[in-house]
């Protein structure tokens, strides 16, 4: 159930809404961590790259950055 809740939270943050403009900034606080090594694949596959460009408005860097976010206080 936790994964489903996290997915919902990410959708609220990253889904376009009338109040978000193209110049919206996000500030994350946390630590850079090692990932499992598989996510970078999705940043170089043409189909995924096009969707990221269309939905998020940028061409992804061909790698990933893994963050462990600090808890909210």
Whether pLDDT at 71 is above 70: yes
pLDDT in tens, 17-60: 555 556 677 788 999 999 888 888 888 899 998 998 888 888 88
Mean pLDDT for 55-73 is 85
CB 19 within 8 A of CB 12: no
Quote the pTM value: 0.45
Tokens of 65: 């950055």
Which residues are 30's β-sheet partners?
A: 69
Contact status, residue 52 vs residue 59, Cβ threshold 8 Å: yes
């Amino acid at each position: 159930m936790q994964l489903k809740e996290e997915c919902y939270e990410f959708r609220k943050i990253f889904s376009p809404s009338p109040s978000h403009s193209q110049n919206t900034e996000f500030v994350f606080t946390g630590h850079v961590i090692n990932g499992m090594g598989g996510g970078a694949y999705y940043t170089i596959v043409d189909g995924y790259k096009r969707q990221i460009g269309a939905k998020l408005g940028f061409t992804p860097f061909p790698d990933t950055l893994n963050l462990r976010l600090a808890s909210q206080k």
